[in-house]
């Protein structure tokens, strides 16, 4: 693996290797080995053209826990506001020596261009591009599903598909969601059955070609499918207004039809868990009851994101050996 640009780039073997390595990373953290020497002397650049809390901080934490040097770049307050291009920004950061570039960009395809245009010699990791892809989010979601519904070690069945047979409902603003696109691909690769649940206005054109079923009725999906997990999506109002579109259905209609509340939570199977990539619109796609319930693993998703991103950086920059060294550097 030279870059991580899309969940579609990962076959079962790649995905399971990342999840297993994340498990090893989490185990070292649980043993209070806070810092591994694995990436000492390597530089990771976080290149963020779009706002982020979880992804940016967890990539920074992951890189530091592997002893890498970290350069954080945010478009706000940089020469991007004077009109500097992605190419010139990337060349400038390359001049400072980047072994990996973690990029978030509002334009779908920007990480692909960065990886293939020769503007950096480093490994490129897509931290979210437009409405296109967010592969490390899908990996941390798969890791969280595996921990709760399968077991830390995965299934290890003959197919190698760690989430084989799990039923996952992905609910909400699918149209604007790179999280949904990445998850549909990765969950399919890992053997899960995905149902997308959304109002017709928030379903993308061409969804028939995705490896997922589509429903417009959340209550029916909960009653009939009995999902093992529901993944609530953020309603991306900023992308609706920038596209010149309004919010339809209205927020009230949306919440009635597609919001996860205490009633719908009670209707889920006892073992079912609730995921949300964050940031949440409390009271819109998810009620406070649901967000704060014991079934919600939303805060744990954030913690798992550090282990998964450590695994991705480790596998991209330190090669293929299966087990990370656990030599303690400092606590």
Active site residues: 54-55, 82, 104, 134
CA 326 – CA 2 distance, rounded (Å): 24
Q: For the purposes of burial, counting CB atoms within 10 Å of the CB of 327, is it exposed (0-12), middle (13-18) or buried (19 or more)?
A: exposed
Q: Which of 17, 27, 37, 52 binds ligand CP (CB under 6 A)?
A: 52
Contact, 198 vs 173, CB < 8 A?
A: yes
Stretch that binds ligand CP, among 51-59, 158-166, 240-248, 319-327 (CB under 6 A): 51-59
Interface of this chain with ligand CP, residues 127 to 186, rule: CB under 6 A: 128, 137
Q: Which of 279, 288, 325, 327 binds ligand CP (CB under 6 A)?
A: 279
Q: Detail the DSSP E strand segments found in the chain.
A: 43-48, 69-74, 100-105, 123-129, 167-171, 193-197, 213-215, 229-232, 273-275
DSSP 234: P
Strand order in the sheet with 123-129: 69-74, 43-48, 100-105, 123-129
CB of 208 to ligand CP, least distance (A): 27
Determine the angle formed by the axes of helices 54-65 and 135-145, rounding to 10 degrees.
80
Sign of CA dihedral 220, 222, 225, 231: positive
CB of 51 to ligand CP, least distance (A): 7
Interface of this chain with ligand CP, residues 62 to 121, rule: CB under 6 A: none
Q: Which of 21, 46, 55, 281 binds ligand CP (CB under 6 A)?
A: 55
CA 141 – CA 171 distance, rounded (Å): 14
Q: Which of 14, 27, 29, 54 binds ligand CP (CB under 6 A)?
A: 54
State yes or no: residue 281 binds ligand CP (CB under 6 A): no
Q: Which of 111, 122, 277, 324 binds ligand CP (CB under 6 A)?
A: 277
CB of 148 to ligand CP, least distance (A): 18
Which residues are at the interface with ligand CP (CB under 6 A)?
52-55, 128, 137, 277-279
Annotated binding site: 54-55, 82, 104, 134, 137, 178, 234, 278-279
Annotated binding site for L-aspartate: 82, 178, 234
């Amino acid at each position: 693996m030279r870059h991580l640009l899309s969940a579609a780039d990962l076959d079962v073997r790649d995905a399971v290797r990342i999840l297993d390595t994340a498990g090893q990373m989490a185990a070292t953290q649980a043993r209070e080995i806070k810092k591994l020497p694995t990436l000492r002397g390597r530089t990771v650049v976080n290149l963020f053209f779009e706002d982020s809390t979880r992804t940016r901080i967890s990539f920074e934490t992951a890189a530091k826990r592997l002893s890498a040097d970290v350069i954080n770049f945010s478009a706000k307050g940089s020469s991007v506001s004077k009109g500097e291009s992605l190419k010139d920004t990337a060349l400038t950061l390359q001049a400072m020596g980047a072994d990996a570039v973690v990029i978030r960009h509002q334009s779908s395809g920007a990480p692909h261009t960065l990886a293939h245009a020769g503007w950096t010699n480093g490994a490129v990791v897509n931290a979210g591009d437009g409405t296109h892809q967010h592969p490390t989010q899908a990996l941390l979601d798969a890791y969280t599903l595996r921990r709760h519904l399968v077991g830390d070690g995965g299934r290890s069945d003959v197919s190698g598909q760690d989430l084989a047979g799990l039923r996952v409902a992905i609910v909400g603003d699918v149209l604007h969601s790179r999280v949904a696109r990445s998850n549909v691909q990765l969950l399919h690769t890992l053997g899960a059955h995905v149902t997308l649940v959304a109002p017709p206005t928030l379903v993308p054109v061409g969804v028939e070609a995705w490896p997922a079923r589509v429903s417009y009725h959340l209550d029916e999906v909960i009653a009939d499918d009995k999902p093992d997990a529901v993944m609530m999506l953020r309603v991306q109002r900023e992308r609706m207004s920038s596209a010149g579109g309004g919010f339809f259905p209205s927020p009230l209609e949306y919440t009635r039809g597609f919001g996860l509340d205490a009633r719908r939570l009670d209707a889920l199977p006892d073992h079912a868990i609730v995921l949300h990539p964050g940031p949440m619109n409390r009271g819109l796609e998810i009620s406070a009851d649901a967000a704060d319930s014991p079934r919600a693993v939303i805060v744990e998703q954030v913690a798992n994101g550090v282990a998964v991103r450590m695994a991705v950086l480790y596998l991209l920059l330190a090669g293929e050996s299966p087990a990370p060294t656990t030599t303690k550097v400092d606590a």
